[in-house]
Amino acid sequence: MRLATFSTPSQAGRSIVGAQCGERLLDLAQAAALLEPSAPTFPATMKMLLEQGAAGLTRTKGLLQAAQANPAALAQCSHALSDIHFLPPIQDANKFLCVGKNYRAHLEELKRTDLIKEMPNEPTGFIKLNSCLTGHDTAVERPPTVSHLDYEPELVFVIGKAAYQVTAENAWEHVAGITILNDLTCRDTQKREVASGSRFWTAKNAPGFGPLGPYIITMDEVPDPYNIWVTCSVNGEQRMRVNTSDQIWQLPRIIEHFSRLVPLMPGDMFSTGAPGGVAVGKPNAADLYLKNGDSVECAFENPPMVLRNTVVAARS
């Protein structure tokens, strides 16, 4: 399944949990009220749905199948993709943990640009704030103080079952699905923060610096999370194409490491690092940093999914 959080022009203040059905998004709460009138109310947020575990996803799949088999119900309870506004799939995660220095090719870039002081011997990470997240097809406002805005397409795993002191062998049973993050980064600020030893990067947490989505793809539709080609294009020009097999720390090791002391909850997310090929690692980086008007597409090739955003000047 492909799960999303969205809004509609007529209900701009309401976040709707949906499932993709062809070129439409099914409003799962509305479908549940129509097709399961005696069942409990459908969860109001994606995190609440994930907190219901396998039972919640099984119910979701059943609603999707029932709506697909009932054209009248589907028409009544769904919206054309062209008529909706994508929101971040999860807006209220307890924790959005980002693993750093996790692609071999990217480590080589960081070493050349003084953005790394030493090679890691275990997973490292930082926190992405919910307040920086934005959805698919939204405009990202570039602050006037940011001159070196870089793109980082990243594979994100979504936790679907609480995990505490979990071993690598059992880690996958705690994962609900995957999505895409464009971990936008102000490189000039990042260099100062690295030099000062900061572990909280404001360079990655400005409003809008976390495009996410558009969907959570459930794991049953992911052939191999460590054989996904991740791409990034700017204004239609492909800037990078890297396979997730280049990751140093794979998710079982990441979950084992962080859950030793930190309880992971449904709806928590792990972004697994920037691949090699970002602007900062190129000799012509100054020409490649994002500028106002640039359209940025981060994508997976299989399973296919595209996250698109446009960089605009910040409103005064």
pLDDT values of the chain reduced to their tens digit, one per residue, 316 residues: 999 999 999 887 889 999 999 999 999 999 999 999 999 999 999 999 999 999 999 999 999 999 999 999 999 999 999 999 999 999 999 999 999 888 876 666 665 555 555 666 788 889 999 999 999 999 999 999 898 999 999 999 999 999 999 999 999 999 999 999 999 999 888 878 777 777 667 889 999 999 999 999 999 999 999 999 999 999 999 999 999 999 999 999 999 999 999 999 999 999 999 888 899 888 999 999 999 999 999 999 999 999 999 999 998 6
**Backbone dihedral region of 117: left (phi > 0), alpha (psi from -120 to 50 degrees) or beta?**
alpha
Report d(CA 141, CA 16) in Å as an integer: 24
> What's the pLDDT score for residue 191?
74
- 259-263 long-range Cβ contacts below 8 angstroms, 24+ apart: 259/163, 259/164, 259/165, 259/166, 260/165, 262/95, 263/162, 263/163, 263/164
Encode pLDDT of 267-314 as tens digits.
Answer: 999 999 988 889 988 899 999 999 999 999 999 999 999 999 999 999
Q: By the 8 A CB rule, do 110 and 82 touch?
A: no
Fold of 96-313: Fumarylacetoacetate hydrolase; domain 2 (3.90.850)
Domain boundaries, the chain: 2-87, 96-313
CATH number assigned to the domain covering 2-87: 2.30.30.230
> What's the pLDDT score for residue 153?
97
0.85 surpassed by pTM? yes
**Backbone dihedral region of 22: left (phi > 0), alpha (psi from -120 to 50 degrees) or beta?**
left
Half-sphere CA count of 148, side-chain side, radius 13 A: 16
> What's the pLDDT score for residue 281?
84
Report d(CA 144, CA 63) in Å as an integer: 46
> What's the pLDDT score for residue 188?
86
Q: Which residues contact 170 (CB under 8 A, 6 or more apart)?
A: none
